[in-house]
Homo-oligomer: A and B are copies of this chain.
Amino acid sequence: MLTVEEYQRRLLQAATRLPSENRPITEIGSLVGAVLDKDVRSAVPLPGFTNSAMDGYAVRAADVTTASADAPVRMTVSDDIPAGDTRQLTLRPGECARIMTGAPLPDGADAVVPVEITDGGLEIVTISEAVTAGSSVRHRGEDVQPGDTVIPAGTLLLPRHVPVLASAGLTEVAVVRRPRVAVVSTGDELLPLGERPGHGQIVDSNGPMLAALVAQGGFELAAVTRCGDTGEAVRAALTPLADSADAIITTGGVSAGAFEPLKLAFEGSGSFDFVKLTMQPGKPQGFGIIGGTPVFALPGNPVSSLVSFLVFVAPALRAMAGRSPEIARHRATVGEQWQSPPGRTQFARVVYADNGHVVRPIGGQGSHVMGGLAGCQALAIVPADVTSLSVGDEVEVISLEGLA
């Protein structure tokens, strides 16, 4: 029997970071959620040209040093410069130009008088306050210089990185490839979604659930399929997927029965390990490498599959994507007592109270109860040496509430 932590370490050793790929900047939406493989260095200065930080009048500051409410300065407005004006303009001494936020400052100008301290004149403007050189001006390159690292390698790209990525003058960005994951449910009893089961049959629920978890985790789906209960059926299903996917998740067929198809297919092959873990649920697990592709063989019931995905597969997929393997946990207080089996790390289904600060156990903790799975909002992690949780105890919790 291995502990949860021992098995996590074993999987993380096998789940190596995927190679880098260059993605075009025009597909910037697909970059969000990927990890930068190299520093992003700007090819251009930002701003790219000296421009106005305010709506107002571009001036030489020296021309308005005497301006005050009592002795305003009147100037000829020689031009109107909207944002997007591509002309190369030069301001003549003694004149000013009406200018909009973001519009290029004309040569010769060194300050912008905000419209609020003028009369807003269109041909002649009256300025009632002095400004200093540089005032309300954004200088070319003041935010970023060419060659500056604007986002360091290893960063998980998020929406807030998009503006600087879009503006840095790049055509491509190098990111760690996101794992393409295939999901295979094993079992002759399984029907696809929407079909009506006959006696002895059930609709496959693990495949769609794992597909949703893969998508929610920020990974790509290569395939969601089912296969029968023989070793041949499993090998036939997995062999082509090992070529097209970076990782395969199977459910079912890893336990102690007479027809455990993952074991029939791979036990003793040298490429697969079947283990028992000191955990509940999720005790039987398998892991192997087929054609270089890691295969996570999870137990077949939905609750065990969900727990196994979060505890073992998600960290490994995150590591493959270049992300930190740890999935988020928080602490909460026990609001109602429950028991945990001795010598097992329990992942107990709980619901939140008091805004997530308190957790209570929900329904039966048996691994096949779907109603309880749908209703549970989090998994409380009970260490192997704890057999009883009492009101007021602190536990670590993995939330199931987030959209990602």
Selected from B32, B116, B402, the residue in CB contact (under 8 A) with A212 is B32
Chain B residues with CB below 8 A from A194, complex form: 24-26, 171
Q: Once the chains are docked, how many angstroms separate the CA of A204 from the CA of B83?
A: 13
Q: Once the chains are docked, how many angstroms separate the CA of A53 from the CA of B371?
A: 17
20 additional A-B pairs beyond A25-B194, A49-B199, A156-B403, beta carbons within 8 Å, are A29-B215, A32-B212, A46-B370, A47-B202, A48-B201, A83-B200, A83-B259, A84-B200, A84-B201, A86-B201, A87-B199, A100-B258, A116-B256, A143-B369, A160-B209, A166-B193, A166-B205, A167-B205, A216-B404, A402-B404
Of the stretches A8-16, A184-192, A273-281, A380-388, the one at the interface is: A184-192
Name A134-178 residues within 8 Å CB distance of B: 138, 143-144, 148, 150-151, 156, 158-167, 169, 171
Selected from B101, B228, B302, the residue in CB contact (under 8 A) with A300 is B101
Name A1-58 residues within 8 Å CB distance of B: 24-26, 28-29, 32-33, 46-49, 53, 55
Q: Once the chains are docked, how many angstroms separate the CA of A166 from the CA of B215?
A: 17
Q: Once the chains are docked, how many angstroms separate the CA of A102 from the CA of B257?
A: 11
Question: Once the chains bind, are B102 and A189 in contact (CB under 8 Å)?
Answer: yes
Selected from B151, B188, B201, B205, the residue in CB contact (under 8 A) with A163 is B205
A401 at interface by CB-CB < 8 Å: yes
Question: Once the chains bind, are A400 and B160 in contact (CB under 8 Å)?
Answer: yes
Q: Once the chains are docked, how many angstroms separate the CA of A165 from the CA of B102?
A: 52
Measured CB to CB, the nearest residue on chain B to A190 is B84
Chain B residues with CB below 8 A from A215, complex form: 29, 32
Selected from B48, B256, B400, the residue in CB contact (under 8 A) with A55 is B256
A285 at interface by CB-CB < 8 Å: no
Report copies per complex.
2
Can you report 18 A-B residue pairs in the complex whose CB atoms are below 8 A from each other?
A29-B208, A32-B216, A47-B368, A48-B197, A80-B258, A82-B259, A83-B200, A86-B200, A88-B199, A115-B256, A115-B258, A160-B374, A160-B400, A161-B374, A163-B370, A164-B205, A164-B374, A171-B194
A206 at interface by CB-CB < 8 Å: yes
Chain B residues with CB below 8 A from A243, complex form: none
Question: Once the chains bind, are A164 and B371 in contact (CB under 8 Å)?
Answer: yes
Question: Once the chains bind, are B83 and A187 in contact (CB under 8 Å)?
Answer: yes
Q: Once the chains are docked, how many angstroms separate the CA of A158 from the CA of B374?
A: 9
CB distance from A83 to the nearest CB of B (A): 4
Chain B residues with CB below 8 A from A306, complex form: 159-160
Contact with B along A362-392 (1 / 0, CB 8 A): 0000001111011010000000000000000
Question: Once the chains bind, are B26 and A193 in contact (CB under 8 Å)?
Answer: yes
A393 at interface by CB-CB < 8 Å: no
Chain B residues with CB below 8 A from A402, complex form: 402, 404
**A82-B208 in contact given A102-B202, A167-B202 (Cβ < 8 Å):** no
Chain B residues with CB below 8 A from A49, complex form: 199-200
Question: Once the chains bind, are B29 and A211 in contact (CB under 8 Å)?
Answer: yes
Question: Once the chains bind, are B163 and A209 in contact (CB under 8 Å)?
Answer: yes
**A189-B83 in contact given A162-B208, A256-B55 (Cβ < 8 Å):** yes
Question: Once the chains bind, are A212 and B28 in contact (CB under 8 Å)?
Answer: yes
Contact with B along A71-103 (1 / 0, CB 8 A): 000000000101111111000000000101111
Question: Once the chains bind, are A104 and B374 in contact (CB under 8 Å)?
Answer: no
A270 at interface by CB-CB < 8 Å: no
